[in-house]
Amino acid sequence: MPQDLLREVWGFDDFRPGQGEIVQAVAAGRDVLAIMPTGGGKSLCYQLPALMRDGVTVVISPLIALMRDQVRSLREAGVAAGALTSGNTEAETGEVFAALSNGTLKLLYMAPERLASGATVPMLRRAGVTAIAVDEAHCVSQWGHDFRPDYLRVGDLRRALGVPLAAFTATADAETRDEIVARLFDGRAPQVFLRGFDRPNIHLAFQPKDNPRRQIMDFAAARRGQSGIIYCATRAKTETLDAALNAAGIPAVAYHGGMEAEQRREVEGRFQREDGLVVTATVAFGMGIDKPDIRWVAHADLPKSIESYYQEIGRAGRDGAPAETLTLYGPDDIRLRRTQVDEGLAPAERKEADHGRLNALLGLAEATACRRQHLLAYFGETSDPCGNCDLCDNPPELFDATQPVRMALSAILRTGEWFGQGHIIDVLTGTATDKITQRGHDRLPTFGVGKAVPKGEWQAILRQMLGRDLIRPDPERHGGLRITATAHPVLRGETPVTLRRDLVRRARPDPVVRAQVDDEDAPLLSALKAKRRALAESQRVPAYVIFPDRTLIE
Ligand code: ADP
Ligand code: MG
Ligand code: ZN
């Protein structure tokens, strides 16, 4: 149920670290003190439980601007929320009181100053308040830098209403914590959530797909005898990988949402009991798994978001012993995830936010320094380089890619932002295909400016540009690449771009037969995919469609 609300109301796939447990405790009516870094996602930890509980949750928050922001976005998501602040118009206040008296309001935001009025507590009692949430709870601490005397009234409010209270802050020091407990909970111990997000025993690594089947098989084979999970983007892939592993003598079993419940339980049971079993699974696998000694987690395809990535790798090494992870990603993943966002039913702002979240994950995939530092920074935690990730193991060589990036941007602009990667690379490398000559693109000043750079390297440069959100495929133009606002300062020569050399230099010829397919040639692509599927099914062997740019599609 919390998961459904998370998806339906907020449009998030997964909880952030810590959120799930806190939501559960708050929804169950416990007194809670949660300490989470800024940006960690505290608001959701009281907003979501408010929807699960009867009655109104009062939210004490220190800033009018903050309250108005939250109320606006909750309302946009269809949640009955309101605020009583000194910034309200009379009409707004009237609306809030109306919603309170007819019992429809779920969240009522209020500044602590309002508690000074003798009328407030009786009003809240009549309104059926069933819980209190205190945001920025360190404001109750006299020693803190943000002391707000009116926060001291919150304790009185809790006593008067006799309802559970959940307090949230990013300030982790023990003195502040003790003071919050003393003043808000009268010293009665609340359930405290204070957990860093870091899981230092988990080794982090990403690799671009260059022969994805072999990359995954090698990773699994090197860990023979250890329990592991391989997450796949599709049900079909869980089955083909399962077959390939067993054929290689690695005990494996597939798991996905299309299987009978009984079969799924059987797999869960086997995984729990047997040592060294590999489960090839979709994201359906994991919720109910409580196995402390999972030694590795691999992603055969890019996860949906950093939140999903964190949850999925977090299933490894719960016993604290070293655990390893590997996440593969390729241009086909990026295309797939972009298309899923664009073709979804979400409103425009949410799609924008989903693209942003995908960009964040791509940024992590192609990070230039310590991957864990990057990951923790996304959740609001600062840290030192970890020494337990692929980028700490082998710091990547960086290079100033401003020149080639500007060349690519200008080739995209000169061709009117209508074309996919393949065509742009043809322009850059001066490859006079029929499509190029028919459109007169061989007469552009950018034609052939990037001749010195091999196509495979252009491929990697464009992928890193996608990851940095300098360019984006436009669904309205069949995936034609467009330039984003991030690219403008680069085009104007104001911002340099640094890229990873190793990602650019790894492209190498592929031994397998190639099909001449252009990115944009959708009907041919789906025909090839169908053929690939038929081949894989009839022969029970993996089969690939290979593009001129060496993208593999399984
Ligand atoms: P805090 O109050 O802890 O500083 P916020 O509640 O303001 O953090 O959340 C920070 C950001 O994280 C917001 O943009 C929010 O939408 C986003 N966020 C929160 N929870 C999730 C989640 N489960 N998945 C994705 N994004 C989330
Ligand atoms: Mg906050
Ligand atoms: Zn590191």
Count the alpha carbons within 13 Å of 501 in the hemisphere toward its beta carbon.
Answer: 7
Which has the closest alpha carbon to 45: 28, 59, 58, 26? 26
Residues 185-191, mean pLDDT to the nearest whole number: 92
Inter-helix orientation angle 174-184/153-161, to 10°: 40
Residue that has been written with the tokens 């750079």 in this structure: 453
Question: Mind listing the pLDDT tens digit for each residue in 31-47?
Answer: 999 998 888 899 999 99
Residue 43 in contact with ligand 1 by CB distance below 6 A: yes
Whole-number Å distance between alpha carbons of 190 and 181: 7
- The band of 51, judged by pLDDT with boundaries at 50, 70 and 90, is very high
Question: Mind listing the pLDDT tens digit for each residue in 60-87?
Answer: 999 888 899 899 999 999 999 999 988 8
User: Encoding tokens for residue 517?
Assistant: 């397919």
Residue 16 in contact with ligand 1 by CB distance below 6 A: yes
Atom of ligand 1 nearest to the CA of 43: 6
Question: Mind listing the pLDDT tens digit for each residue in 439-455?
Answer: 999 999 999 999 999 99
Q: Which of 82-91, 166-175, 199-208, 416-425 has the lowest mean pLDDT?
A: 166-175
pLDDT of residue 504: 85
Determine which residue's CA is closest to atom 20 belonging to ligand 1.
41
Determine which residue's CA is closest to atom 15 belonging to ligand 1.
41
Residues 455-465, mean pLDDT to the nearest whole number: 89
User: Encoding tokens for residue 218?
Assistant: 């090698």
Q: How far is the CA of 213 from the centre of ligand 3 (A)?
A: 26
pTM: 0.72
Q: Given a cut of 50, is residue 512 above it in pLDDT?
A: no
Higher pLDDT, 476 or 100: 100
Q: How far is the CA of 46 from the centre of ligand 2 (A)?
A: 11
Higher pLDDT, 208 or 514: 208
User: Encoding tokens for residue 446?
Assistant: 């950018």
Whole-number Å distance between alpha carbons of 133 and 22: 12
Residue 356 in contact with ligand 1 by CB distance below 6 A: no
Count the alpha carbons within 13 Å of 32 in the hemisphere toward its beta carbon.
Answer: 29
Q: Given a cut of 60, is residue 550 above it in pLDDT?
A: no
pLDDT of residue 151: 94
The DSSP call for residue 344 is S
**Strand-strand pairing, 206-208 and 498-500:** unpaired
Determine which residue's CA is closest to atom 9 belonging to ligand 1.
41
Which has the closest alpha carbon to 171: 224, 203, 134, 122? 134
Residues 247-257, mean pLDDT to the nearest whole number: 96
Question: Mind listing the pLDDT tens digit for each residue in 141-153?
Answer: 887 668 889 999 9
**Strand-strand pairing, 398-400 and 498-500:** antiparallel
Question: Mind listing the pLDDT tens digit for each residue in 324-333?
Answer: 999 999 878 8
Q: Which of 7-21, 164-178, 497-511 has the lowest mean pLDDT?
A: 497-511
**Residue to mutate (ligand 1; options 4, 12, 169; most atoms within 8 A of CB):** 12
Please state, as a whole number, how many other Cβ atoms lie within 10 Å of the Cβ of residue 538: 9
- The band of 527, judged by pLDDT with boundaries at 50, 70 and 90, is low
- Please spell the DSSP secondary structure of 131-156, one letter per residue: EEEETTGGGG-SSSTT--GGGGHHHH
- The band of 169, judged by pLDDT with boundaries at 50, 70 and 90, is very high
pLDDT of residue 531: 64
- The band of 533, judged by pLDDT with boundaries at 50, 70 and 90, is low
Residue 307 in contact with ligand 1 by CB distance below 6 A: yes
